[in-house]
Structure 1
Amino acid sequence: MAAATAAQAATGFTTGAPHVLVVPYPAQGHMQPLLHLASLLATRGLRLTVVAMPATAHLLEPLLAAHPSSVRPLSFPASDDLDTSGPTSVGADFHAHAAALRAPLGQWLRSRARRSDSGDGETSRVVAVISDFFCGWTQPLAAEAGVPRLVFAPSGVLATAATHSLFRRTPRPPEGDDAGRGYAVSFPALPGAPAFPWRQISRMYRSYAEGGGDEHTEAIKDNFLWNLESAAFVCNTCHPLEGKYLDAQPLEDLAGKRVWAVGPVAPPPPDETGEDDTASDVTTWLDALPDSSVAYVSFGTMMVPPPPHAAALASALERSGTPFVWAAATTTLPDGFADRVAAAQTGLVLRGWAPQVAALRHRAVGCFVTHCGWNSVLESCAAGVPMLAWPMAADQFFNARLAVEEARVAVAASWGGFGGVPDAEHLARALTEVVGEAGAGIRARAKELASMVAEAVGEGGSTRRELDGLVNMVVTAPWQGKSPAGRLGAN
């Protein structure tokens, strides 16, 4: 014990426990869930080395502060100028991220994977790699080093399986139908064989299918095909929300690999009223309003609705008389709108940080108008607040379909995405379906789902069991460089 304590003091890193390399994709919506998972793994006794980049290093600070003896950052000079947090092409991001880190990280991993574990903390043997599903390039590195790689999906299992199915099967509209009008992509290997119009398929895949061949689009395809060679998938989801797909394992669209459902990984919500004056202002404003009467509006940190879409929603809010809090960030709102609703005390427009979790859990909020990013869907489900679903891009159409048609805790605002502006009157009617007395039924279902999610993450719940099983597998499996993918995939 004295020797272990001395080694820990010298390295700042817990000795003796299994050592796992964690590779986030450096964009906030991807990093935060993986860092939350890392905290859960550290709490359960694993040592973690987390790859950090200058542009996103600040996001690691809470994790490092909470687990100073079991988590450490790892950065490389080659990544100093790489910033994937901006609005660049996702294909270019894949390519730049891999190019900057592949060689130095591969060297680091090989030096720590094929050695006897001396128990000396920082240089101890790595037994597994957990990396974001946008970091498929880590799969050949892990295979070369002889350790298993687990894919972390910040999305749900439906969206994860469907996205990988696209790159595995490469469906395309028939020749001559360049815009894909009338063409739907089916997913016959998934329960219920869902199908989605071509325009609802992510731009990432459509860009590949419509103009594949350059290094960026090929990097995207390679990324997802590498994921299918991994040992297992770890999804930020849970059985109450996606049991239909989890119970159908093994899923052909994920190459039959085990899916560990460990979500929601976010910790219990803090008292956000102490974080920013905005939170206190929002809470005070909501306190004066009746239960379930307010619409909270947010399209996430990266999704900005175009001015015509924002104008349609602004008109719907005024027509319906629905009180609202709108986390508008950089959204262009109609001239005079913010001043009118402020003067009438019917709406609150926020331009900076918005206390989303606190707002969703306030008794006055009865509806969440959302783009259906997965983090927002999970927050809404955990809070027991029904959604007005307005998907725009990426995995959002999969998530919205799940919330509207399967969980039945959402009403569709629009399925047109960026390409279709809904009628303001239609939006006003949709708002009145969810907010107030008319929404009692859907709110009851949302509250029931929230209770089931809370049970899942509680002691003995399905999420807790999945997380413990994942940790036990990493701790006990004797990889020793021999077919880790096959061994883990069969677990």
Structure 2
Amino acid sequence: MENRRENVVLFPFMAQGHIIPFFALAQKIEKHGYSITYVNTPLNIKKLQRSLLPGSSINLVEIPFNSTEHGLPPGAENSDSLPHNLLFSLLQATMSFKIPFKKLLFDIIQEQGGVKPVCVIVDFFFGWTADIAHEFGIFHSIFSANGGFGMACFYSMWLNLPHKNIDGGFGKEDSTVLYSIIEEEKLKSHSLYCPDVFSRECAEFLLPDFPEAGKHHVTQLSPSLKMAGKNNPLTEYHRKNLPTWANSDAILLNTVEELDKLGLMYFRRKLGIPVYAIGPALLSENVRSSRAGKEATISPDKCIEWLDKKEVKSVLYICFGSMNTISASHMMQLAKSLDASGINFIWVVRPPIGFDINAKFVADKWLPDGFLGRIQDQERGLIIDTWAPQVEILSHKSVAAFLSHCGWNSVLESLTSGVPLISWPVGAEQFHNAKFLVEEVGVCVEMARGTSFEVSQEDIIEKIEFFMGGSEKSKEIKRKSCEVEEIMKNAIRDIEIYRGSSVKAMEEFFRAALLMKDGTKNTN
């Protein structure tokens, strides 16, 4: 692509799981010769400053936000700093950005002498920005940092609520949805039965507009979806926001065409607009070291030094992401299982459910007596509280598997390193990602679903030892993981004799945006 210094505006939601992929996207776009206006609230912008390289064409711009005006604590500008019961308040507060965002676009155009940005790329929570962008005649795109399959399931479930016996729980019977109703007594025999989710819900169901995704079970629903219904504010929010995606000129997904065909097919069919797979968009090494505003609690060098002492494929890496944790009882069972198994592991720990996830982790309170001392004496365990250099860990030859919540950023980092996963989803679209990895890609085995069940020490040890052993099934999963690693790397390869699918998709996206900027809107 020719070297242009035209401007692209990026605007993510205020959460690390959104801010970081958007910053990775900014780096990717910058390589194509564009300047970037990266928009966020003042405190998030301040934290991002350390991630900029000298001479970067990424310009960090503040959009005004006062958290206390929305019933939030002072300085609460990122979901990472909030308890779960206030996350929806932060989401609702973003509706106050409408006027400031319109003014921001106006100011950008004025500063550029009347020249409009090439495009505006926003978070999937910000579908309302399409109308504002189009007022200025600017190409508009949604960027979802999620995978196609997981996001398609998320999109369909919130619009249709197919796990309810009635149409979306709103009182109208819907005979078009295919259900397999299982009696509660029969359901109890299910290995992942959770008594709190069974009421008048369907135990198994298909998505009415995405049957290709196969059957889903109520145990594969996030806590938010289990509570969805007519008078639920989050349900109303999603049912208002998600249809606005169709007002965009394009959708960008942080995935790979060759890997995620079903999810991409769903959105192309559902929305009727171009959908581009441009992933994996991952942070460059210099930004990872600063963690886009997050403080590292252990240096990459120390992790590598520890891993270098271990045999090839002998270490289990465990992390549930920056915003997730498990119950105190699950944490205790997992620790006991690691103790009994005798394997090497790195475990990123955070306070369990019911405690402030950002508080100091108290090992004596949440781990078995003597656990830390034993693993330190045996030099087979590394406990890290808060953040760890995940990419560096996953890319090390000693790591055999990743026990993960299956947040998409973590999935991408694992797949691009050829590391198979053990799934333990706890919220959002993580359950759908886990289903995709197990059933469609074949690079994952399931450990657990959510936090409302009892998991046995025997089950945990069995799943852990699966990847440490040499069974034919484990060998097959490891082989597929290596194949997927090549698919991921090939998608972003850009050399004289080969240009990957994600490279081509990004170029097609900008051709469409430039056509609209030049007055000829893309009609593909």
1:219-298 aligned at under 5 Å gives the runs: 219-246=237-264, 248=265, 251-253=268-270, 255-267=271-283, 269=285, 278-298=299-319
Query: Matches of 1:373 and 1:234 in 2, distance apart?
Result: 18
- For the pair 1:138 / 2:129, whether they are aligned, the reply is yes
- For the pair 1:330 / 2:363, whether they are aligned, the reply is no
Query: Matches of 2:465 and 2:222 in 1, distance apart?
Result: 30
Query: Matches of 1:59 and 1:474 in 2, distance apart?
Result: 30
- For the pair 1:218 / 2:218, whether they are aligned, the reply is no
Q: Share of identical aligned residues, percent?
A: 28
Residue matched to 1:3: none
Residue matched to 1:409: 443
1:444 aligned counterpart, secondary structure: helix
1:67-146 aligned at under 5 Å gives the runs: 68=56, 70-79=57-66, 81=75, 83-85=77-79, 86-88=82-84, 89-99=86-96, 101-110=97-106, 121=112, 124-146=115-137
Cα deviation for residue 297 of structure 1 reads 0.7
Query: Matches of 2:289 and 2:29 in 1, distance apart?
Result: 28
Taking structure 1 as reference, are residues 479 and 197 closer, same or farther at Cα in structure 2, changes over 3 Å only?
A: farther
Residue matched to 1:201: 221
Query: Matches of 1:35 and 1:108 in 2, distance apart?
Result: 19
- 8 Å Cα contact 1:271-1:358 kept in structure 2: no
- 8 Å Cα contact 1:314-1:334 kept in structure 2: yes
Query: Matches of 1:180 and 1:200 in 2, distance apart?
Result: 16
Taking structure 1 as reference, are residues 164 and 294 closer, same or farther at Cα in structure 2, changes over 3 Å only?
A: same
- 8 Å Cα contact 1:19-1:124 kept in structure 2: no
Cα deviation for residue 360 of structure 1 reads 0.9
1:295 aligned counterpart, secondary structure: strand
Residue matched to 1:154: 145
- 8 Å Cα contact 1:234-1:259 kept in structure 2: yes
Q: 1:470 aligns with which of 509, 512, 516?
A: 509
- 8 Å Cα contact 1:389-1:413 kept in structure 2: yes
Query: Matches of 1:307 and 1:17 in 2, distance apart?
Result: 52
Residue matched to 2:410: 376
2:247 aligned counterpart, secondary structure: coil
Residue matched to 1:455: 490
The amino acid of 2:244's aligned partner reads W
Query: Matches of 2:285 and 2:64 in 1, distance apart?
Result: 35
Cα deviation for residue 162 of structure 1 reads 2.0
The amino acid of 1:355's aligned partner reads P
Residue matched to 1:22: 10
Task: Render the CA deviation track for 1:155-194: whole Å, top value 9, x for unaligned.
Answer: 0011222222234334351269974554334224336242
Query: Matches of 1:404 and 1:73 in 2, distance apart?
Result: 39
Taking structure 1 as reference, are residues 233 and 63 closer, same or farther at Cα in structure 2, changes over 3 Å only?
A: farther
2:60 aligned counterpart, secondary structure: strand
Taking structure 1 as reference, are residues 273 and 228 closer, same or farther at Cα in structure 2, changes over 3 Å only?
A: closer
2:513 aligned counterpart, secondary structure: helix
- 8 Å Cα contact 1:297-1:326 kept in structure 2: yes
Task: Render the CA deviation track for 1:437-472: whole Å, top value 9, x for unaligned.
Answer: 343332222112111211111110111111121122
Query: Matches of 1:340 and 1:122 in 2, distance apart?
Result: 66
Taking structure 1 as reference, are residues 431 and 445 closer, same or farther at Cα in structure 2, changes over 3 Å only?
A: same
- 8 Å Cα contact 1:200-1:393 kept in structure 2: no
Query: Matches of 1:58 and 1:423 in 2, distance apart?
Result: 44
Cα deviation for residue 268 of structure 1 reads 5.2
TM, length-normalised to structure 1: 0.85
Query: Matches of 1:46 and 1:455 in 2, distance apart?
Result: 23
Q: 2:396 aligns with which of 362, 380, 401?
A: 362
User: What do you get for the CA RMSD once the two structures are aligned?
Assistant: 2.9
Task: Render the CA deviation track for 1:25-58: whole Å, top value 9, x for unaligned.
Answer: 1111111111111121122122322212123114
Query: Matches of 1:352 and 1:245 in 2, distance apart?
Result: 32
Cα deviation for residue 147 of structure 1 reads 2.5
Residue matched to 1:36: 24
Residue matched to 1:7: none
Number of residue pairs aligned between Structure 1 and Structure 2: 459
Q: Which runs of 5+ in 1 are unaligned?
A: 1-14
Residue matched to 1:5: none
Task: Render the CA deviation track for 1:414-451: whole Å, top value 9, x for unaligned.
Answer: 13x11123211011111111124343332222112111
- 8 Å Cα contact 1:63-1:71 kept in structure 2: no
Query: Matches of 2:500 and 2:36 in 1, distance apart?
Result: 25
Task: Render the CA deviation track for 1:376-424: whole Å, top value 9, x for unaligned.
Answer: 1101100111111111111111111111111111111113x11123211
Task: Render the CA deviation track for 1:100-142: whole Å, top value 9, x for unaligned.
Answer: x2111123325656x8xxxx63763234211011222323322
- For the pair 1:429 / 2:453, whether they are aligned, the reply is no
- 8 Å Cα contact 1:240-1:449 kept in structure 2: no
Q: 2:452 aligns with which of 399, 419, 425?
A: 419
The amino acid of 1:234's aligned partner reads L
Q: Which runs of 5+ in 2 are unaligned?
A: 68-74, 170-196, 291-295, 353-365
Cα deviation for residue 295 of structure 1 reads 0.4
- 8 Å Cα contact 2:118-2:138 kept in structure 1: yes
Taking structure 1 as reference, are residues 108 and 252 closer, same or farther at Cα in structure 2, changes over 3 Å only?
A: same
Query: Matches of 2:87 and 2:269 in 1, distance apart?
Result: 26
Residue matched to 1:169: 160
Taking structure 1 as reference, are residues 16 and 239 closer, same or farther at Cα in structure 2, changes over 3 Å only?
A: closer
Query: Matches of 2:231 and 2:99 in 1, distance apart?
Result: 29
Cα deviation for residue 67 of structure 1 reads 5.2
Taking structure 1 as reference, are residues 109 and 273 closer, same or farther at Cα in structure 2, changes over 3 Å only?
A: closer
- 8 Å Cα contact 2:4-2:34 kept in structure 1: no
Cα deviation for residue 347 of structure 1 reads 1.4
Query: Matches of 2:162 and 2:518 in 1, distance apart?
Result: 36
Taking structure 1 as reference, are residues 92 and 328 closer, same or farther at Cα in structure 2, changes over 3 Å only?
A: same
Q: 1:46 aligns with which of 8, 12, 34?
A: 34
1:392 aligned counterpart, secondary structure: coil
Query: Matches of 2:10 and 2:95 in 1, distance apart?
Result: 15
Query: Matches of 1:17 and 1:358 in 2, distance apart?
Result: 33
